[in-house]
């Protein structure tokens, strides 16, 4: 019997000890390991080394940033641990946990103390002024009384008067000095408070934590905690560098990163991505579509058509836009849950749904089906002769790419944009000079680069450098691997191009009117080096061939470049690759003379047509 009670007591003690161990929690901030920056958000990963002892334990990962997305919180085992649950919580603290904010608090308190001392000094000066007023009120009547009695002490009156003026001058100087100090202290305090607010992101004194409940081996284990943060985005920018006589240009691919997540990313493996971090893994559910018949109105029945008089293209676009908007909301904003956000928490509660789990997702799926029903019913009812709305347009940026930086990097949380280099890529380059005298007399240095690297280039701004000197800016389009693109290197001031209409004649030929134009193009070279200039001009084109356009003659043959012949010539673009000798000025300038003929119905007149920009 005694051994039986002993066994029961041991079990009770063991159970109590296990419960106490399981209830123990350890607070660990972990260390940032990697960050993937998307357009508008970033995915942050922390590694948390949990020391011994093992068993069921609660690990509180502290100092989550103010811009954390609670519903994105996820924990996984890296080494040895078995994750049972993950919980997000917020709790108020008496003092902000971040060192940088604490330093600002100390500086603000010091500035407030200085401000209080300044105000007390101003009060003291005000008291001195009151005292001097009272002293003056005593001295003047006393002096007048003594003067009437013939016992005035002139030396004493002189001393008191000098004392009064000295004190009043000192008080005035002190007031001026203290007023200036008070103004400076007010500005200093306002700046410190604004800087603290920017750093703190308006979070107040609230800490955000991830509570991970897991089973660990005896020697502890390692966890990886991931979460999305708002307040982070990036965009591409480029520097392109060229040299005279070179066959290559160097393209520096940079990322302009805005990072205001509320935490500093120190020594992390950084990845840049144009993908969208979706919190929904499942595609929307398609519901059946049921239709029925109803009687047509008399006007509809008399029309004899297959459908109603509806603007199909406009209606379709409107419904497509609504579908796209709901899809965006479903893919980014919804996962059917919200995290527990009060000061208390429970190990058993991983997430606390606002409604039933997944109900928000079901509502959005229902909305998608309703819009799709409307779209199909619109197709059934509309009187469509030809669908000119075209295929659904792709997003403005159709390329989803990911760049992983070669080295670990640091990026603090700051309100300004920070620049980091993704790569520096030498590219095969064909340099040329181009003149478009119908638009400008300047001649520009340009190059056709081939993206022979391993990265897709996204559209973004570009800064050009020639011989190490900045020459201007431009734009780079989205460029696939192996694709070519053009970049500019600024104006060549040693060259100048002009275009002149030399003659115009018109005549009648049968029922047609004939116009003849003679143009004179010149390129002058003021430098000491010969050059080949790509001179561009154009002849008009007629969409319906109601105007016949003929290049009658040209003193120089148009370029035989294969790409130009294939792509540009049929659009009416004229190009001459014109050699220009050194010091070719005035009568020595390189020249192109050409004649153009337009023929069209004499009863008609020429008018311009808008052309879509490239």
pLDDT digits (tens, 9 = 90+) for 328-352: 776 654 433 333 333 333 333 333 3
> Which of 39-48, 72-81, 206-215, 538-547 is the least confident region?
538-547
pLDDT at 394 over 50: no
The distance of Cα 340 from the centroid of its chain, to the nearest Å, equals 31
pLDDT at 213 over 70: yes
What mean pLDDT, rounded, does the chain reach? 80
Instruction: Report pLDDT digits (tens) over 159-170.
Output: 777 777 788 788
φ, ψ at 461 (rounded to 5°) = -70, 155
Instruction: Report pLDDT digits (tens) over 14-52.
Output: 333 433 444 468 999 999 999 999 988 999 999 999 999
User: Which distant-in-sequence residues (6+ apart) come within 8 Å of 309 by Cβ?
Assistant: 303, 383
Instruction: Report pLDDT digits (tens) over 57-67.
Output: 999 999 999 99
Find the mean pLDDT for residues 155-183: 81
pLDDT of residue 288: 84
Find the mean pLDDT for residues 65-93: 90
pLDDT of residue 304: 47
**pTM of this prediction?**
0.62
Is the CB of residue 223 less than 8 Å from the CB of residue 382? no
User: CA 410, CA 421: separation in Å to the nearest integer?
Assistant: 12
User: CA 156, CA 358: separation in Å to the nearest integer?
Assistant: 95
Is the CB of residue 233 less than 8 Å from the CB of residue 40? yes
User: CA 71, CA 290: separation in Å to the nearest integer?
Assistant: 37
pLDDT of residue 135: 75
pLDDT of residue 153: 67
pLDDT at 610 over 60: no
> Which of 59-68, 147-156, 386-395, 455-464 is the least confident region?
386-395
User: CA 342, CA 351: separation in Å to the nearest integer?
Assistant: 12
Instruction: Report pLDDT digits (tens) over 554-574.
Output: 999 999 999 899 989 988 999
pLDDT of residue 360: 66
pLDDT of residue 7: 38
DSSP for residue 166: H
Is the CB of residue 555 less than 8 Å from the CB of residue 518? no
Find the mean pLDDT for residues 457-472: 91
Which band of pLDDT confidence, cut at 50, 70 and 90, is reported for residue 278? low
pLDDT of residue 14: 38
Give 202: exposed, middle or buried? Use CB within 10 Å, 0-12, 13-18, 19+.
Answer: exposed
User: CA 463, CA 482: separation in Å to the nearest integer?
Assistant: 22
Find the mean pLDDT for residues 387-408: 62
């Amino acid at each position: 019997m005694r051994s039986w009670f002993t066994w029961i007591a041991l079990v009770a003690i063991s159970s109590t000890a296990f419960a106490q161990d399981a209830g123990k929690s350890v607070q660990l901030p972990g260390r940032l390991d990697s960050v993937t920056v998307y357009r508008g958000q970033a995915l942050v990963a922390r590694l948390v080394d949990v020391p011994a002892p093992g068993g069921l334990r609660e690990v509180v990962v502290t100092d989550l940033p103010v811009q954390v997305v609670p519903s994105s919180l996820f924990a996984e085992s890296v080494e040895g641990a078995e994750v049972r649950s993950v919980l997000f919580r917020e709790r108020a603290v008496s003092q902000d946990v971040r060192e940088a904010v604490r330093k600002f608090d100390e500086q603000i308190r010091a500035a407030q103390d200085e401000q209080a001392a300044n105000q007390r000094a101003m009060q003291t000066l005000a008291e001195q002024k009151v005292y001097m007023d009272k002293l003056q009120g005593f001295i003047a009547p006393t002096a007048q009384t003594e003067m009437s009695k013939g016992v005035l002490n002139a030396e004493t009156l002189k001393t008191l008067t000098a004392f009064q003026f000295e004190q009043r001058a000192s008080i005035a100087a002190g007031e001026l000095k203290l007023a200036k100090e008070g103004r400076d202290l007010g500005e200093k305090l306002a700046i410190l408070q604004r800087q603290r607010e920017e750093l703190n992101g308006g979070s107040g004194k609230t800490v955000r934590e991830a509570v991970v409940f897991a089973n660990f081996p005896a020697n502890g284990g390692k966890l990886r905690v991931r979460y999305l943060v708002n307040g982070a985005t990036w965009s591409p920018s480029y520097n392109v560098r060229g040299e005279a006589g070179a066959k290559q240009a160097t393209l520096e691919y940079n990322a302009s990163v805005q990072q205001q997540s509320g935490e500093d990313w120190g020594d992390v493996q950084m990845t840049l991505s144009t993908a969208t971090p979706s919190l929904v893994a499942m595609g929307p559910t398609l519901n059946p579509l049921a239709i029925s018949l109803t009687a047509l109105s008399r006007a509809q029945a008399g029309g004899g058509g297959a459908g109603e008089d509806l603007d199909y293209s406009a209606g379709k676009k409107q419904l497509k836009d609504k579908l796209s908007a709901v899809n965006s909301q479903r893919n980014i904003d919804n996962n059917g849950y919200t995290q527990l956000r009060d000061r208390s928490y429970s190990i058993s509660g991983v997430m606390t749904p606002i409604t039933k789990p997944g109900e928000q997702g079901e509502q959005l799926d229902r909305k998608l089906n309703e819009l799709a029903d409307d779209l199909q019913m619109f197709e059934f009812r509309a009187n469509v002769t030809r669908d000119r709305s075209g295929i659904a347009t792709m997003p403005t940026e159709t390329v989803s790419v990911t760049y992983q930086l070669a080295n670990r990097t640091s990026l603090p949380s700051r309100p300004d944009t920070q620049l980091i280099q993704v790569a520096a890529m030498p590219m095969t380059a064909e340099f040329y000079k181009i003149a478009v005298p119908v638009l400008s007399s300047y001649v520009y240095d340009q190059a056709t680069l081939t993206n022979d690297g391993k990265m897709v280039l996204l559209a973004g701004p570009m800064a050009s450098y020639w011989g190490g000197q900045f020459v201007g800016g431009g734009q780079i389009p989205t460029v696939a691997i192996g694709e070519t693109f053009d970049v500019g290197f600024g104006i060549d001031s040693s060259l100048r191009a002009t275009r002149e209409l030399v003659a115009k004649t018109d005549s009648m030929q049968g029922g047609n009117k004939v116009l003849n134009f003679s143009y004179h193009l010149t390129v002058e070279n003021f430098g000491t080096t010969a050059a080949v200039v790509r001179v561009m001009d154009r002849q008009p084109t007629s969409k319906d061939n109601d105007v016949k356009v003929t290049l009658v003659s040209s003193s120089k043959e148009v370029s035989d470049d294969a790409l130009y012949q294939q792509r540009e010539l049929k659009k009416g673009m004229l190009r001459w690759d014109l050699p220009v000798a050194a010091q070719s000025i005035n009568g020595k300038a390189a020249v192109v003379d050409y004649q153009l003929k337009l023929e069209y119905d004499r009863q008609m007149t020429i008018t311009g047509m808008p052309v879509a920009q490239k």
